[in-house]
Amino acid sequence: MRSDSSLPDHLILREFQFPSDFTQVINLWKNAGPGIQLRRSDEKDEIIKKLQRDPDLFLVAEIDQVIIGSVLGGFDGRRGMVYHLAVDDFYRKRGVGSALMNELENRLKQKGCIRSYLLVTRENINAIRFYETSGWELMDLLIYGKDLDQLSSEY
């Protein structure tokens, strides 16, 4: 298990604040590589909608007022979901992703969530290794999606 001493200095984990964090978080996601694809759900109005429930599950990692990591969680009363875990390339492999996930998992547990899911694209080997070393198990299922307003395709 990693010791917290490798975490970058001055690291703070806190809840995402709208609108002040919006641009920084979008830029983090845009620069995070192919594992994060910006979709309609990441537009301002959709983020505002998401924050109407579980605002305490949208977390950012910050160093000296610069956002260097994020994770967006949700709980529907039965299962948790994890979206958009991302750490700025410069700060990867120093425990920031694990710190964000640990905090999110604890918050989900406190809400009574007993099981959570996340989606990873097949070619995102780094994320797959990350999740598999963090206790996440691959599930042998097909994922179905449906656009309920027929406008665009989403995960």
Ligand X SMILES: CC(C)(COP(=O)(O)OP(=O)(O)OC[C@H]1O[C@@H](n2cnc3c(N)ncnc32)[C@H](O)[C@@H]1OP(=O)(O)O)[C@@H](O)C(=O)NCCC(=O)NCCS
d(CA 92, CA 86): 9
User: What would the two tokens of residue 144 be?
Assistant: 């179905």
Applying CB under 6 A, which of residues 18, 41, 56, 94 lies at the interface with ligand X? 94
Selected range binding ligand X among 13-21, 105-113, 122-130, 140-148, rule: CB under 6 A: 122-130
For residue 151, the minimal CB distance to ligand X (Å) is 24
* Cβ contacts of 121 within 8 Å, gap of 6 or more: 34, 35
Choose which of 25, 32, 47, 108 interacts with ligand X (CB under 6 A).
32
Nearer to ligand X, 139 or 151 (CB): 139
Give the total of residues touching ligand X (CB under 6 A): 22
127 in Cβ contact with 120 (< 8 Å): yes
CB of 155 to ligand X, least distance (A): 10
- Closest approach of ligand X to the CB of residue 109, in Å: 19
Query: What kind and span of H or E run contains 74?
Result: strand 66-75
Q: CB neighbours (10 Å) of residue 82?
A: 22
120 binds ligand X (CB under 6 A): yes
* 86 near ligand X (CB under 6 A): yes
The answer to whether residue 87 forms part of the interface with ligand X (CB under 6 A) is: yes
Contact 69, 28 (CB under 8 A): yes
